[in-house]
Structure formats: structure tokens, C-alpha cells
Structure 1
Amino acid sequence: MHGPASSGWLLVALCAATGAYCLLRMRSRVEEQRRAAGGEALMGFGMAAMAVPAAAFTPPAWAWPAGAAVFGAAGLQALWAARAGACHLHHLIGAGAMVHMAVTMAASRTGGHGHAGNGADIPLLTGSLLLYFVAYVLVTGARLVPVAGTPGGGRDVGWGDRPELARACRLAMAIAMVAMLPTM
């Protein structure tokens, strides 16, 4: 990621902490929540790795294509899971954004101008992803406050199964994505 080192390290901390918390959420009793938390942990740690300032560490040339492959596989898994419900589309879009950023970083490393392809469609793709994540941040932020009428009222629901905590993880990663996409 290109940009100031201090904001890069803050993004690393935010994404790594979110990834670590999502790993803890994988202890949920609900299989669907465990699966979603695993994908979100992968996303958090991947975003943390991408956000490390270039001045601190320059990854080897194979790291960006490997990241694109890992997130491409995560996107295929999200696409398969999206058959069951639209809630998985956010994971699909997030994985696609990670593939886009990895491909862009690989192209900039091989002497490109920071954009893969012919340069005409990538800024449009980056802008579209940025608009999606800004809208997601606004909508999810508004829904983050727990409702008093939630089933169980939060009393008999395990901490790993609380929907507002899962939303907070997704919100933190969406905010990080909003910070990372303009640097592409």
C-alpha cells in the first residue's frame, strides 16, 4: 500500500485485531457464524498484510499473485455460499476487492503505473468498490446499535453469536477498505 507510514500501521493494527477477534468468533455454536467468522478472519489478516507500509517491508514478487489466488479462492467459496442467501454477497465483493488490490500491487511492482490492465477500466472498478464500501460503512454503522427487542436481548446469546459484534468486525474492515482503495 502506498501512503503515509503512520496511517499504514494504524490500518495494520485495526485489521490484525479484527482478524484475531474473528478467529475467536469461530468458537460460535452456530456453524454459519463460524464459517463467516473464518472468512472475515482471512480478510482481516490479508488486509493487515497489505497495509504494511512499503518502507517497513517490501514483500517478495510472488506475494501479490499468491494473495490474489487466496482471495480468488475465498471469492469462489463466497459465491458458492451466496446460493443460500444474499448475505454472502458482501464477502464476495470483499474478496473481489482484495483480488483487485493484489493484482494492482503486482502490476505496480512489475513496472506498471499502479494499475493493472489498460488503465481505463481499473479506476472505474476502484471507484465502484469505493462507493460500495462507503455505502456499506454508512448502513452498517447505523445498524450497529443493538435493538432492545433482539431475541434473547443479548442475555442468553453467546458473545461469539452476537450480531452487533459481527457487524462491528465487518464495519472495521469496510472502513479499512475505504482507506486502502484510494491508494491503488
Structure 2
Amino acid sequence: MHEGPVVVGWLLVALCGSTGLYCLYRAAAGPGRGARRPAGVEGAMGLGMAVMAVPGAGAAAPGQAYVVFFGVLAGCSALLRARPAHRAHHVVEALAMVYMGLAMLGPAGHGAGGVPVLTGVLLAYFALYALRTGALVVPVLPAPVAAGAGPVAGGGAEPAERSPEVAAGCRLALSLGMLVMLVSM
């Protein structure tokens, strides 16, 4: 799918693949079903994006495979028991990948670049989403501890896989990957 420099393609593979694997880890280690399913969808999305971003992937796997995979993922996203905005984002993300898969079906498998207006709308959506989500990644810092006071008893830190900042970081990484893929279409 990626038409830009090869190094950018491999960096995109690394970003999306590592994010996808971490999201799958969060799904396995998450506190309950309500948090596991969205993390699992994010993991599948990240790994699918990584495969699609491999330089030369358009020649190795037909666009139809991506269309089917991300179409199924869009259906699964629509059935998530998550906040409506979160669920809608997953659906938009999966449908954007379907759109890119369809663009790969252009002449000789090199993609026609898609519909410029739709590509622009998706670029604007993911840019705004990345900006909004980026603000969630920065945690609110706790009040400074007095010198020699030490940590508060029983106030242990929350495990990383349950941290809302980590979940927002995963969505931010995938949104940035989506931006790069859309720009390089």
C-alpha cells in the first residue's frame, strides 16, 4: 500500500506492528471483557495496518484480502460494547482501511489514489483525532511528595495495561499510522 520511501514503509510497519502486539497484550491482560474487546480490535487493526504497510505488499497480497479483513473488522467494531464515540472511531478506522484496500485495486494493483475529497476528509478526521488523543496521553501529574515522605501506603501505581494513557497512546499511534498511509496513497 505504501508508495513512499522504503524506510518510511518499514517504520510504519514497526509502529503499527508493535502497537498491535501491545494492544493484543492489553486485551489478554486487561481487567475485564469491557476493556479487552476494544483492545483486541485495536490489536487486530494495528497488525493489519502493519501487513498493509509492508513495502511491496500491494503486489504480494491482493487488495481484496485487505477489503475483506478490514470489512470484517469494521463489523466487529460496530458490535463493540464501548462508548459510542470510541466504537464509531473503530468503525471509521476500519472503513478507512477498506477504502485504502479498494484503492489498491486500481490499474495493475498500483492503486488509483482514491477519491481526493474522501481522502481529504479522512486526513482531516485522523489529524484532529490524533491531536485530541495526544492530549490524553499526557497524564495529570500528582502533587509533589514532600522530601523524605516516601510513597503513600496502599497507593500503588496502576498497571500499565489498565492505564487510560496507554490506551490513548495506542489509539494515537494507530491514528498517526493512518495519516501516513493516507498521505502516501
Global fold match (TM > 0.5)? yes
Alignment length, in residue pairs? 171
Deviations 1:64-86 (A, max 9, x none): 21211111111122223378622
RMSD across aligned positions (CA) = 2.2
Residue number in structure 2 paired with 1:45: 47
2:182 match: secondary structure: helix
The equivalences for 1:16-95 within 5 A come to: 16-26=17-27, 27-54=29-56, 58-61=59-62, 64-81=63-80, 85-95=84-94
Q: Partner of 2:16: helix, strand, or coil? A: helix
- 1:147 counterpart = 2:140: yes
Deviates more, 1:131-140 or 1:105-114: 105-114
Aligned CA distance change for structure 1 residues 2 and 111 (closer, same or farther; 3 Å): closer
Identity fraction in percent: 43
Structure 2 match to 1:97: 96
Q: Partner of 1:97: helix, strand, or coil?
A: helix
Kindly name which structure, 1 or 2, has the bigger radius of gyration based on alpha carbons: 2
Distance 1:128 1:175 in 2: 15
CA contact (8 A) 1:144 1:168 kept: yes
Change (3 A) 1:83 1:146: closer
Amino acid at match of 2:12: L
Change (3 A) 1:19 1:132: same
CA displacement, residues 75-128 of structure 1 (integer Å, 9 cap, x when unaligned): 12222337862221110110011101111112244476343xxxxxx2111111
- Do 2:70 and 2:95's aligned partners in 1 also have CA atoms closer than 8 Å? yes
Normalising by structure 1, what TM-score? 0.84
Query: Which residue number in structure 2 is paired with residue 106 of structure 1?
Result: 105
- 2:133–2:172 Cα contact (<8 Å) kept: yes
What TM-score do you get using the length of structure 2 for normalisation?
0.83
Give the gaps of 5 or more residues in structure 1: 116-121
Quote the offset at 1:44 in angstroms: 0.6
Q: What CA distance in whole angstroms lies between the structure 2 residues aligned with 1:155 and 1:35? A: 26
Deviation per residue, 1:124-150 (Å, 9 max, x gap): 11111110000011111112111247x
CA distance in 2: counterparts of 1:11 and 1:50, whole angstroms: 10
Mapped contact 1:28–1:158 kept (Cα < 8 A): no
Structure 2 counterpart of 1:15:
16
1:133 is the counterpart of 2:126: yes
Q: Deviation at 1:23?
A: 1.1
Runs of 4+ in 1 over 6 A off after TM superposition: none
**Residue 183 of structure 1 aligns to which amino acid in structure 2?**
S
